[in-house]
Amino acid sequence: MTQAKSAYIGARIFDGAALRDDHALLVLSDGETRIIGPQDIPSNCATHSLDGGILLSGFVDLQVNGGGVMFNDAPTVKTLATIAAAHRGLGTAAILPTLITDTPSQTAAAIKAVTDALDQGIPGIAGLHLEGPHLSVARKGAHDGTLIRPMQDSDLRGLLDAVDHIPNLMMTVAPESVTNAQIRAMADAGIIVSLGHSDCDYGTAMAAFDAGARCATHLFNAMSQAQARAPGLVGAALDHGGAASGLIADAVHVHPAMIRAALAANQGPSEVFLVTDAMATAGSDITSFTLNGREILRSDGRLTLADGTLAGADLTMPQAIRVMVEQVKDPLEKALARATTIPAGMLSSSPSRNRADDMLWLSQDMTKTCWIAEL
């Protein structure tokens, strides 16, 4: 019979949907956890008293370009381990390392690196996000436009082969650069197809969602905007009930008022979830780095190219949650879900949840995190 090992009291506990007050988190000897009443703590169990804060499963981030280093610079298992460790230090238990638009050889290297990392059980690596190269040059953002191209049959075959080895494979595409038949083939194979870096119109986006695309990449950013007579990709993502949306909630990429409007307009049941779109700066104090040969500058919470174009985000999940709660006025429970259970639910193979190794303490002011094993 599994025995109780320890119990944590004094903090609120987020169960994935709601905050539980006046409860305890019980850790069993097999690493599983249970939420119980304080009166139910076994007498022979070590009890740890916490001074407030919130206990919850670690964050899940579906768009991570780097952490200390950039995945594009060296798509290897070593790079993946470095990035995952940097984000674990920020409270994130599972990531999709993200390769932005690059050459076919770099894309193949990224697929191999993630396949090997999964085989080796590298902690924190849940799969792979390929953001490009099948995008729109008109909405390329910081992507290298010379590497953007339409999807070919050989590209599709490579992705269908990759998903056999990488269960959580996310692919950001623009409908201008793929066909709905290609979207359908990817979706049928279990690839998470997301629309982004696109200048498509509302009807084209809705057709792509109907074909199997499941979400939009960094809502509002690098996509056709919602206008009175042209709802664009933004309008389609919010109007299509089957489309979720990743969101960079740093109050830089999207104004809090627009986030509020998006949350009110979203038709569900698919929901908005948080991503960091983190670059090499995550978990480090570096002030600049290069991406595809171009310098990215870090200043005042922004990452930009020399011409001012936003290039990823200087953001952590706790910061994003804080923006959602304090500036957007999202309920705390919902903001926590947007960083944990909602993105986890997007994955074909969900990372482990509610195990002691991945249980996190978040301070009440949402500025500090600590894994419970380190408390």
Q: Which residues are catalytic?
A: 277
Element (H, E) at 182: helix 180-188
Beta strands 92-100; 59-64: pairing state: parallel
Q: 3-class SS at 257?
A: helix
Element (H, E) at 156: helix 153-162
CA angle 224/226/229 to nearest 5° reads: 110
> 135-138 contacts: CB < 8 A, separation 24 or more?
135/101, 135/172, 135/173, 135/174, 135/177, 135/196, 135/197, 135/198, 136/174, 136/176, 136/177, 136/197, 136/198, 136/199, 136/200, 138/199
Q: What is the distance between the alpha carbons of residues 293 and 73, in angstroms, rounded to a whole number?
A: 10
**Per-residue tokens: 330:** 């999202």
> Count of CB atoms within 10 A of residue 92's CB?
29
* Size (the chain), residues: 375
Q: Which residues contact 94 (CB under 8 A, 6 or more apart)?
A: 58, 59, 60, 61, 124, 125, 126, 344, 351
Q: List the one residue out of 165, 51, 48, 66 whose CA is nearest residue 113.
A: 165
CA angle 170/176/179 to nearest 5° reads: 70
> Count of CB atoms within 10 A of residue 6's CB?
18
Whether a cis peptide bond, with omega within 30° of 0, leads into 97 is no
